[in-house]
Amino acid sequence: MSARQKLAVLGLWLSAAAAAESPQEAVRKAMESSIARQRQAVAAMQIPIERQRAAVAASRSDKGGGAAAELAPAPFFTLSWPALGAGCDPLPDVELNPLIQQAAQKEELDANLLRAVAQQESGFRSCAVSPKGAMGLMQLMPATAQELGVRDPFDPAESLLSGARLLKQLLARFGGDTALALGAYNAGPSRVEESGGVPQIPETIRYVQQILSQLPMP
C-alpha cells in the first residue's frame, strides 16, 4: 500500500472514530431525550390558564353562578378525575401515608380528613387530570397551583400540602365546621355562605357525605 493510500485509510478511520459515540455519550443523550419527552407530556396535560378560567366560568353559569368566586382568578374546583391519568396506579400506602402525615402536621390539619379528601378527589392517583384540567392528588387547577406557588402539581407532596393549606383556610372561615369546609372545597365558599349551609348541589352533597362517612366518629 502506497503512502497516499495509507493516509487515505487513516483519514477514513479518524472520521469514523470521530463520528462514533462513546457508551457514556449515548447514555447521556438517551437520558436527555427521556427528560424532554416527560416535560412535553406534562406540558400537554396542562391546559392554558385562560381556557381553565373559561371552563370555570361556563361551569358557574351552568350551575347558577358564583362558585368559588372569592378564589378567582385562581379557582380550586373538585371535578371528576378519570379523563386523563386514570391509567396510573394509586400511590401505595407505604409512600402515601408519610406524605399525608407530614402535610397534615405542617398545616395542623386532621390527617384522616386530608386522606379522605385526597381519596375522593383523585383515588390517590398522583397523575390524575380531570376533564376541566384539575391535576394531581388534590386536583389543583393550574391557576390555583400557581397562586399557591406549586412547582409541580403532579408531585404528591406538593399537592397534599397545598390541599391541606386550603382546607385549613376553609375550616377557619367556617368556624371549624367540617361539612361546610368540604362544601366550600367542592362548590366554593360563596355558595356555602349564600345557602347558609352545604349547597344543595347533588354533586356537592354526595361529595360531603362520602368524605364524612370515611372519618372516624368523634
Domain layout of the chain by residue ranges = 70-212
pTM of the shown model: 0.63
One digit per residue, the tens of pLDDT, for the chain of length 218 reads 555 554 454 454 444 444 455 555 554 554 455 445 444 544 544 444 344 444 444 444 333 332 232 343 333 333 333 445 556 899 999 999 999 999 999 999 999 999 999 999 999 999 999 887 889 999 887 877 887 888 999 999 999 999 999 999 999 999 999 999 999 988 888 999 999 999 999 999 999 999 999 999 87
Does domain 70-212 fall into CATH 1.10.530.10? yes
In whole angstroms, what is the distance from residue 50 CA to residue 59 CA? 14
User: For residue 73, which amino acid is it?
Assistant: P
Active-site entry in 121, 147, 193, 203: 121
CB-based contact 187:206 (threshold 8 Å)? no
Closest CA to 188 of 214, 209, 207: 207
At residue 135, the 3 state secondary structure works out as strand
CB-based contact 147:165 (threshold 8 Å)? no
Residue 121 known to be catalytic: yes
